[in-house]
Amino acid sequence: MTDSQMTDSQITDSRMADSELYGKQGFGQSSGFGDRPALLIVDLQVGFTDPEIFGGGNILDAVANTQVLLSVARHCKIPIAHTKVVYADDGSDAGVFCLKNPALVQLTEDAPMSQIVAELTPQAGELVVRKTQPSAFLHTQLAAWLINKAVDTVIVAGCTTSGCVRASVVDSMSHNFRTIVAEDAVGDRATAPHEATLFDLSQKYADLLSTEQIITHLRQQ
């Protein structure tokens, strides 16, 4: 039986049972904040916010909440990195990821759909990571940049929750960064993978906090 075939009470009961099982096995502990956080905004590009291209679902809500979080991060002067999926004009760097969705090769450097949305336009001093794979860390300068800035905690916002956000969160933790997912500042084109991914990330790889909770912590530093 899928979620779409279950009643609301059955879904709630199933999720409570899942949480209880994970808890009994010791999952779901908090890694918390360290002393030096950074903000990582994953792939909030025009194409991923447009339902006619790669967007949909609650991604626009994620943009709005990320905008608030970004403003506070700038005020608090923490390191900020943005990522964007970008391929060569001739597609020469496209790999298996593009076999799963060939339209991704349209995300070239100058394509309008490749640009970071105007509300989140990077400022001087903020890193822009160009990537061809889901993870923000794979074959990029991100980890070295964070280490150079003595970062120990990575706050993650962006899209999609089940795709590039998930891959980036897992790799962030794998690089031994405490990792916080801004749960209302990440979005996906479909609800089921979004919610399932948040549950899984919270149990094994990251803490989930609202933008309000994260902002409160940043302002108290």
Give Cβ neighbours of residue 143 (< 8 Å, ≥ 6 apart).
137, 175
Dihedral sign (CA 218, 213, 203, 54): negative
Which residues have C-beta within 8 Å of that of residue 2, sequence separation ≥ 6?
none
Q: SS3 of 161, please?
A: helix
Active site residue 76: no
Q: Which of the residues 76, 98, 159, 164 is marked catalytic?
A: 164
Q: Give which of 154, 148, 134 is closest to 197, Cα–Cα.
A: 134
Catalytic positions: 164
